[in-house]
Homo-oligomer: A and B are copies of this chain.
Amino acid sequence: MSETPYQQLERRFKRLSALGEVQAVLHWDMAAMMPRGGGEARAGQLAELKAVRHGLLTAPETGELLDAAEDADGLKGWQPANLREMRRLWTKATALPEGLVVALSKACSACEMVWRTARPEADFAAVKQTLEEVLALTREAAAAKAEKLGLSLYDALLDDYEPSGRTADIDPVFAELEDFLPGLLSDALDAQAAQPKAILPEGPFPEEKQKALGVRLMEALGFDFDHGRLDISLHPFCGGTPDDVRITTRYDEADFTSSLMGVLHETGHALYERGLPKQWRGQPVGEALGMSIHESQSLLVEMQVCRSRAFLGYAAPLMREAFAAESKDGDPAWGPENLYRLYTRVKPGFIRVDADEVTYPLHVIVRYRLEKAMIEGDMEIADLPAAWNDGFKELLGLTPSTDREGCLQDLHWFDGAWGYFPTYTLGAMTAVQLFEAAKKAVPEIEPAIAKGDFKPLFGWLKTHVHTKGSLLTANELLIEATGKPLDPKIFKAHLKARYLG
């Protein structure tokens, strides 16, 4: 019997998925293994792979098969959702004329290169013109996508990172945070000042000991080293493929706390990838859902689980054993309560990636406001530094002394990632909402965490998040898992309980 159009599409998307996995392995290798001199050839390999994948996806035959499969009957179970995802990928891939794709890719590479020296030199003027080119081409791409998808310019970009994410939903949520967070921050700082000061354990902390502790906790959380690795890279990330998921970190021998929490964060991403539905592997519906859900899984592990009193009660003795086996039992630096204070310390600062749980959303909201305005044509690049500093002063009460700790700090815009920033905070809020629902549904989750047993937690997450792949939208998933769409009240209650309680 010959294959149906849908079956032919499954074969075609399986190939696309395998080539996508190849890209992921090459990216991991580039960051963690590749010698510097391999860069030029690697760029060529990645460019050819990208072109091959683009060609496969946008071939006329793919469009014809989609039309035929949509007209046919007989799809079962997850297949209609898979066909919907195929169509979505095809629509996006065919929305942009090839010339624009190439121009945008070149502009982003050029801009990133200028940014790499402009940032340390805090020299916004140096990068202004090339950033203007990136913005102009990004807006052109947004317009092409917006027309095909029936969306606003900003939503057309956001949709690449957060499928079905819309400013109409995000705006009221962020407005509620804007009202709430500055007051909470001030109260949290007061509460913190009334507490004993957190003590940073004294090093040095040799790299191999940090790695051994990281591996031990990763394994406790359920990371399977038969299906993954932990390595070193300049910028930590979770890469590889669902069956061979590779996370990276970097070690500071003077302070283990940040690297360790980074490892646990990436482990959250990794366990999501590993938990994606095996029976849909290689198909679009089997892929991770979007950035807010992905970030919710890393932040649930890092921020909700691993920075909790329950987890630190379990992990503190392991940390002491790893680094200070000979220290006295009563050394206050290694006490769970001190480590909890350390890991929940609030401190307004300029740099997003160093921000705590309370101030992080404010960093995001500053960026979200600005990128929306620039994409919708309401603001010029020339006005960015001043607008950044105004927004930062308004929301965080601080004024960056240079653009290095202001609008030059993040790669995103310079590399063409517009519409990405809100997913960080959507992810943080989603993490809290999922964790609260999980604890309510399975009361043993928290006592188990205190004993280093994470099975009850991940049992719930697998069922309600990981194995759903891309079957639902993020909001549908939240409603099924927690009974309601994203609700800022849950996030606010969590922050009050943790930072004022």
Contact = CB atoms under 8 A, between A and B. Distances in A.
A226 B49 contact: no
Contacts of A189: none
Contacts of A224: 37
A274 to B, nearest CB: 10
A19 interface: yes
A328 interface: no
A497 interface: no
Interface residues of A, number: 38
A146 B226 CA distance: 44
A47 B45 CA distance: 17
Interface string A26-52: 100100011111101110110111011
Given A40-B243, A244-B34, A52 B15 contact: yes
Contact of A26 (B22, B40, B228): B22
A277 to B, nearest CB: 15
A18 B38 contact: no
A434 B311 CA distance: 66
A22 B45 contact: yes
Contacts of A240: 38
A40 to B, nearest CB: 7
Contact of A37 (B19, B34, B49, B227): B227
A33 B226 contact: no
Nearest to A42: B244
A49 B19 contact: yes
Given A36-B226, A225-B35, A15 B48 contact: yes
B52 A229 contact: no
A25 interface: yes
Stoichiometry, copies per complex: 2
A241 interface: yes
Contacts of A34: 244
A30 to B, nearest CB: 10
A interface: dominant SS: helix
Nearest to A242: B41
A70 interface: no
Contacts of A36: 226
A21 interface: yes
Given A21-B45, A243-B41, A33 B229 contact: yes
Contacts of A14: 48
Given A18-B44, A48-B15, A244 B37 contact: yes
A411 to B, nearest CB: 24
Interface in A286-310: none
A435 B380 CA distance: 67
A323 to B, nearest CB: 23
Contacts of A242: 41
A203 B391 CA distance: 66
Contact of A244 (B19, B25, B38, B244): B38
Contacts of A22: 22, 26, 45, 49
Given A15-B52, A18-B45, A19-B48, A227 B25 contact: no
Contacts of A25: 25-26, 29, 45
Nearest to A21: B45
A380 to B, nearest CB: 40
B21 A228 contact: no
B226 A35 contact: yes
Interface in A162-211: none
A281 B38 CA distance: 13
Given A29-B29, A48-B18, A52-B15, A37 B226 contact: yes
Interface in A468-486: none
A413 B353 CA distance: 55
Nearest 6 pairs between A and B by C-beta? A38-B244, A37-B227, A18-B48, A37-B226, A41-B243, A18-B45
Interface of A: 14-15, 18-19, 21-22, 25-26, 29, 33-38, 40-42, 44-45, 47-49, 51-52, 224-229, 240-244, 281-282
8 contacts: A14-B48, A18-B49, A35-B228, A37-B226, A38-B244, A41-B244, A44-B282, A52-B52
Given A35-B226, A38-B240, A40-B243, 6 more contacts: A18-B49, A21-B45, A25-B25, A25-B29, A34-B244, A36-B226
